[in-house]
């Protein structure tokens, strides 16, 4: 492979090539930077990128290899970091002029874990305003007149465009799954509490969850193996326990052919006609290993429960930004905060109480099924850059804190990606990736 094509290597393949001495960390970083120079004027995925700093990291990692030092699982692999994750050596501006020039004193927990695994922190990817709905500058790499989704816009676009093989994102509603679906990459949001959030912009403690973007399931598993784990600075992370062998589990064959539940959800009527047709074909192709499961109509109320929790907690999280700089906030964010400030304690606590009820109900579903198959979005990425599309097809699963994966299995009539959302039982994240790999193989996806 030519050096200029190294950017298309998966993270796993790149790591293997570096450890074998077939390529250097600097060659890989330069190939990714060459791709940035080639396409980022159109895609605009980066909020901050210093090529010399990226290359300096790569050269230092090459020196470590020459010295015979132990190499981490991501040694030399460039990774994009959503610009709400603190980075001690780069600005973290959270997509708002109110935080312009902000340079944290230390790395977010997950950034530190990436560095410990040998990754090159390539740069900061564009986020929407304070990780909400007002779009940033990023465009869909498949068509610049269409949204890339949000709020992890730059991370999804950078991976899809071949600028990096891995990137970090976050999801409070649909901010990993939706941009992954619109950009045509794998996007994985693990179980709530699996990945620590210390050093990441807080929007909603109850709902904020971190995730990864990649072009292969193997890379998703490789990244999760480095990121998942307890951190005492995030009180919602799971207690210390044995490290989950994501890579081993995700790449092995299931002991029995999985049984899937096709869930249209109560908002199926909001999907586009080609989405409904595509899912009918996918279900038919999957054969006797899938059954339709109808959720109770009451789950439609999850949209309102989620909105109540998110906007109440957002109002508390962004109180300083609102009180000192509300004139610099977008109309949409200002409206969300103002609605959140009007939510009563009773409304908030009632909505919170729905979460354990949802979790209990879904636990019974997974006594029979290995995973849920459902839309990631209403359709392909909408035309226009004024919004990032609706997250409503992700809301229920985010509210319940369940692991969710976008699978780039289909395509719309306009040539844009059409995502498939795969949802698993809480805590069964690695098994969900294994089942997803089985499905991808069955339908002939790469």
Known catalytic residue: 151?
yes
Q: 217-227 vs 429-442: helix axis angle to the nearest 10?
A: 170
Q: Which domains are delineated in the chain?
A: 11-296+352-446 (3.90.1300.10)
Quick check: 233 and 189 in contact, CB under 8 A?
no
State the Cα–Cα distance between residues 141 and 150, nearest whole angstrom. Answer: 14
* Contact yes or no for 393/374 (Cβ under 8 A): yes
Q: Is the confidence at residue 283, as pLDDT, over 50?
A: yes
**Torsions phi, psi of 78, nearest 5?**
-70, 135
Give the model confidence (pLDDT) of 95-146 as tens digits: 999 999 999 999 999 999 999 999 999 999 999 999 999 999 999 999 999 9
From the candidates 10, 24, 151, 153, give the one annotated as an active-site residue: 151
pLDDT at 238: 86
300 or 405, greater pLDDT: 405
For residue 412, is pLDDT > 60? yes
The yes-or-no answer on residue 10 being catalytic is no
Torsion of CA 321, 324, 330, 331, to 10 degrees: 110
* pLDDT tens digits for range 53-76: 999 999 999 999 999 999 999 999
Residue 1 has pLDDT above 60, yes or no: no
Is residue 4 pLDDT above 80, yes or no? no
- Which position among 152, 165, 175, 390 bears the catalytic label? 175
Q: What is the pLDDT of residues 152-208, one digit of tens each?
A: 999 999 999 999 999 999 999 999 999 999 999 999 999 999 999 999 999 999 999
| pLDDT value at residue 309 | 99
Q: What is the largest CA-CA distance in the chain?
A: 62
Residue-level pLDDT at 444: 80
Give the model's pLDDT for residue 298.
85
- Identify the band that residue 3 occupies on the pLDDT scale cut at 50, 70 and 90: low
Does 82 participate in catalysis according to the annotation?
Answer: yes
Whether the per-residue pLDDT at 446 is higher than 80: the answer is no
- Check 10, 24, 82, 152 and give the catalytic one: 82
pLDDT of residue 47: 98
pLDDT in tens, 194-251: 999 999 999 999 999 999 999 999 999 999 999 999 999 999 998 888 899 999 999 9
pLDDT of residue 109: 98
């Amino acid at each position: 492979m030519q050096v200029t094509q190294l950017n298309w290597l998966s993270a796993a393949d790149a790591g293997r090539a570096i450890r074998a001495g077939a390529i250097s960390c600097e060659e890989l970083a330069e190939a990714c930077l060459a791709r940035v120079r080639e396409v980022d004027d159109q895609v605009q995925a980066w909020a901050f990128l210093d090529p010399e700093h990226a290359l300096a990291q790569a050269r230092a990692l090459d020196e470590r290899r020459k010295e015979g030092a132990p190499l981490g699982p991501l040694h030399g692999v460039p990774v994009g970091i959503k610009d709400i994750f603190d980075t001690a050596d780069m600005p973290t501006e959270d997509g708002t002029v109110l935080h312009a020039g902000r340079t944290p004193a230390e790395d977010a927990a997950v950034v530190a874990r990436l560095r410990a695994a040998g990754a090159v922190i390539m740069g900061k990817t564009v986020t929407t305003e304070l990780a909400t709905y007002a779009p940033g500058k990023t465009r869909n790499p498949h068509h610049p007149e269409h949204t890339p989704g949000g709020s992890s816009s730059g991370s999804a676009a950078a991976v899809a465009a071949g600028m990096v093989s891995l990137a970090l994102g976050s999801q409070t509603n649909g901010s990993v799954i939706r941009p992954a679906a619109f950009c045509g990459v794998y996007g994985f949001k693990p179980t709530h509490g699996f990945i620590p959030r210390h050093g990441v912009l807080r929007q909603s403690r109850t709902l904020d969850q971190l995730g990864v973007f990649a072009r292969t399931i193997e890379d998703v598993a490789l990244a999760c193996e480095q990121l998942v784990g307890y951190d005492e600075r995030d009180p919602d992370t799971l207690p210390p326990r044995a490290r989950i062998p994501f890579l081993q589990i995700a790449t092995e064959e299931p002991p029995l052919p999985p049984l899937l539940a096709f869930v249209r959800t109560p908002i199926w009527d909001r999907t586009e006609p080609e989405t409904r047709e595509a899912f009918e074909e996918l279900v038919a192709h999957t054969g006797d290993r899938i059954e339709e499961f109808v959720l109770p109509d009451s789950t439609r109320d999850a949209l309102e429960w989620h909105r109540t929790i998110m906007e109440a907690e957002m109002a508390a999280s962004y109180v300083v930004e609102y009180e000192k700089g509300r004139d610099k906030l977008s109309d949409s964010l200002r409206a969300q905060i103002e609605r959140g400030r009007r939510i009563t304690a009773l409304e908030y606590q009632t909505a919170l109480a729905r979460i354990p009820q949802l979790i209990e109900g879904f636990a019974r579903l997974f006594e029979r099924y290995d995973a849920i198959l459902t839309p990631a979005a209403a359709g392909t990425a909408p035309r226009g850059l004024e919004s990032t599309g609706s997250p409503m097809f992700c809301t229920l699963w985010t509210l319940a804190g369940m692991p969710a994966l976008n699978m780039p299995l289909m395509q719309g009539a306009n040539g844009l990606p059409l995502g498939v959302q795969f949802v698993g039982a809480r805590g069964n994240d690695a098994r969900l990736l294994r089942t997803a790999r089985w499905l991808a193989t069955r339908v002939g996806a790469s």
